[in-house]
Structure 1
Amino acid sequence: MKARHRDEDTHVPVFPEPAGRFLRILQDKYLYPVMRASVYRVLCLVCGLFFIAGGAMHFLKPGFYLQISEGFLSGMLCWIYISGVAEILTGILFLLPATRHRAAFFTLCLMLAFLPLHIWHLWSDVMPLWAAFLRLVLQAGLILFFSYLYRHSVRKIPRSPAYKS
C-alpha cells in the first residue's frame, strides 16, 4: 500500500482536468509574466515620481537637508543641489521604459552613496537615535529593493544592423 501524505486528501486542483493542464500552462506562460510586467511598470512609475519629487525638495527646502547633514557635509549647499539633480535625473530615467535598467543601477549607486550619512547619524546629535536607526534600516531596505529591481529589470540594448536572428 502506498504511503499517503496528510494533505493529499484535502488538495483541490486550481483547474479541473483535462482543461486544467492547458489552463495552468496558459497561466504560467502568459498570465504571470503580464502580471509581473504590470507590477514592474507601476513600481517604476512610483519610483520615478518619488525621486523627481524628492529631488525637487532639495531645491524647494534646502534648509531641511542642510540641517540633517550638518557636521557631515559642513553646510555645503552645493552637495544638496547635486544630489537633488541626481535624484531628478534618476526619476526621469525610471519613467522612460528604455532606461529603467540604468535607473535601477543609478538609484542603487545613490543609495550606497547616501549610506555613510545614515551611518554617521547614529553617532551625531542631529536626530534622535531611534530616528537615525529607522533611517538606516529604511536605507538598507531600499538598497535591497533597488538591487532586486536592477537584477530583474530587462536591459534594452539595441541590436546592431549586422545581427541576424
Structure 2
Amino acid sequence: MTTSQYISLYSISAFYLIAGISHFLSPGFFLKIMPKWVPSPKVVNQIVGAIEVLLGAAIFFDETRTLAAWGIIALLIAVFPANIYHYQLAKQKGKQVMATLVRLPLQALLIYWAHSFI
C-alpha cells in the first residue's frame, strides 16, 4: 500500500468511527433528521451508530476490509432516504438548504471512496 492509500485507509476508518460514536453522543441530531416512517427511531439510531463503529474498525484490517467496504456501501444506500428527508426539512424551514442539497451527491463520493478498498 502506498502512503496515500494508508492515509485514505486511516481517514475512512476514523470517519466512520467518529460518525458512529456521534450517534451515541448526539442522538438528537440524528433523530431530528430521521424520516417519520422509520420504526423505533432511537433503536435505529443506535443500530446505525454501532454498525458505523463496527465498519470503521473492520475496514482497518486486511481480513475484513472488503466486507467492511461493501457494508459501508450498503449502509450509505440504506441511509440515503434520511438524507433526502433532511434536505426536504431544510427546504421547508429555509435553513441549511445548500448544505443538505450538496450532501446528497456526496453520498456517491463516499460510496466511491469505500469501493476503492474492494
The answer to whether TM tops 0.5 is yes
From the two aligned structures, give the one with the greater helix fraction: 2
The one of 100, 107, 115 equivalent to 1:139 is 107
- How far apart, CA to CA, are the structure 2 residues paired with 1:72 and 1:146? 28
Equivalent residue for 1:84?
49
TM-score (norm 2): 0.82
Q: Which runs of 5+ in 1 are unaligned?
A: 1-33, 151-165
- How far apart, CA to CA, are the structure 2 residues paired with 1:67 and 1:75? 13
Equivalent residue for 2:97?
129
- How far apart, CA to CA, are the structure 2 residues paired with 1:110 and 1:147? 13
Q: Which runs of 5+ in 2 are unaligned?
A: none
Q: Does 1:120 align with 2:88?
A: no
Equivalent residue for 1:67?
32
SS of 2:38's equivalent in the other structure is coil
Larger RCO, structure (CA 8 Å, separation 6 or more)? 2
The one of 72, 75, 78 equivalent to 1:107 is 72
Q: Which moved more, 1:123-132 or 1:101-110?
A: 123-132
Compute the displacement of 1:42 (Å).
Answer: 2.5
Answer with 1 or 2: which has the greater Rg: 1
Compute the displacement of 1:130 (Å).
Answer: 1.3
Q: 1:120 to 1:145 in 2, by over 3 A?
A: same
Count of paired positions: 115
- How far apart, CA to CA, are the structure 1 residues paired with 2:14 and 2:114? 15
Equivalent residue for 1:24?
none
Aligned-residue sequence identity (percent) comes to: 28
Contact 2:9 2:60 in 1 (8 A): yes
- How far apart, CA to CA, are the structure 2 residues paired with 1:48 and 1:56? 12
SS of 1:149's equivalent in the other structure is coil
Compute the displacement of 1:90 (Å).
Answer: 0.1
